[in-house]
Chains A and B, each alone.
Chain A
C-alpha cells in the first residue's frame, strides 16, 4: 500500500456509494491471473465486507471471510477519505489509522484493480 488512490470524478459519500461504484472502477486487465480475497473491516460504524477476485472477475460479499488474502482495517471516515483521494494511504498507515494485514504484494495490487 504505497501509492495514492486516484480521485474519482464524483465524491463517494458512503460505503454503499463506494460499493456501487466498483463495477465502473474495476479493471479486469490488471487482475487476469489473480485469485485473491480482499476484506474491509470498517469501524464507526462497524461494517465488514469482502471481494473475491477470480481471474479478471470480482464478486462482493457482505460479512467476513474466514481467510482473506488481505484485510484492510480503518474507520469508515478514513476509508472514505482514502477512496476519495483526500488522504494518502501512506499517511493513514504511518499515523496508525489504517491497518493492512496479509500479503503486501497482493495489497498493493488493489490500487490497480479498482482505479
Chain B
C-alpha cells in the first residue's frame, strides 16, 4: 500500500506528539539502572499462578509445585522473547518509515519516532538481559506465528499494515504482561521488567492508537482491510500466545496425562479462567476497534466466528462505543 499523507496533522495528534516528546525528553529507561538486577533468580516465580495457562484446568492439579513455577518462568520468558523480536521489528519498520522521508514535513513526528526507536532498542536489551538473568534460552518463533506475520504484514516502503499489526500485537502483549505480574508473589525483578516497560510502552500505545486513527481516516482502503482481518488476526494471536508446545516441553511435566497434547491444549485454551483473562486483555482493544469502526456491525459475523461475540456484546453494552480515557490498563495496580 503506497501512502501519501496530507501535510497537516490533526490538532489532537499534534498535541499528543508534543506531549510524548516532552515526556521522552525528560526520562527514558536505562538498561543498567532501572531494575533490581542484583536479585537472585533462584526459586523465582515470573508470573502469578492464576495466569498460568494450565490454571483452572485438571492439568494444574496434576503438575508439581516446581513444575508450575518453571511454567511461570518459561511462559514469561517466551513473552519476553516475543517482545525482543517484535520490538526489534518495530524499530526496523520505523527506521524504514523515517528514511522513506514521506514524514519529513512533520519534524515533531520524526523526533518522536527517534525517541520511540531508542526506547524499543533499550526494551529489547532489557528483556534479553532478563532472559539471561533467569537462564532462559531464546524460544524459536513458532512456524505458524512466523508465517502468519510474514504473510499478513507485507512490507512496502511505507509498511502501514505491518505497523498496524505490530501496534496491536504490542498492545495486547502489554496488557497481558501487566495482568501476569500484578501480585506480590511474582519476582520483584520480573515485575520491574513489566512495570518499567509499561511506563514507556503506554506512550507507544497512545501514539500507535493515534497513528491507526490517522490511517483509518486518511489512507484509502486501510479501514476496509482492517475490518476484515483484525478479528481472525487477534484470535490467532491470543490462542498462539496462550499455549506453546515449547514451553510445556521445557518444563518436562512428569505426569503421563501431559503426553496427551491435544487434551492439554484444549483444556488450556477453552477454560473459564483463560476466557476471563482474555476478556480483560481484549476489552480495551475491542473498545478501540468499536470507536474506530475497525469493528463494524455489518461484519459482526467475523467477530462471532473468531469467538469474540460475547466479549464484544459486553463492550458494546457497557460503553456504547465511546472512547475511554483509561484503555491501556495504565491504572492496573502493580
Interface residues of chain A, those whose CB is within 8 Å of chain B, are 1-3, 87-88, 90-91, 93-96, 99-105, 107-108, 111-112
Contacts and interface: CB of A to CB of B under 8 A. Distances in A.
Interface string B281-302: 0000000000000000000011
B152 A104 contact: yes
Interface string B236-254: 1001101101000000000
A91 B268 CA distance: 11
Contacts of A111: 305
A105 B229 contact: yes
Contact of B144 (A91, A96, A108): A96
Given A94-B243, A108-B232, A99 B269 contact: no
Say whether chain B's binding surface is mostly helix, strand, loop, or mixed.
Answer: helix
Contacts of B225: 105
A107 to B, nearest CB: 7
Given A2-B232, A90-B239, A102-B151, A96 B306 contact: no
Interface of B: 142-144, 147-148, 151-152, 225, 228-229, 231-233, 235-236, 239-240, 242-243, 245, 261-262, 265-266, 269, 301-302, 305-307
A104 B262 contact: no
Given A2-B239, A94-B240, A103-B152, 5 more contacts: A99-B144, A103-B151, A103-B229, A104-B148, A105-B229
Nearest to B241: A94
A93 B240 contact: yes
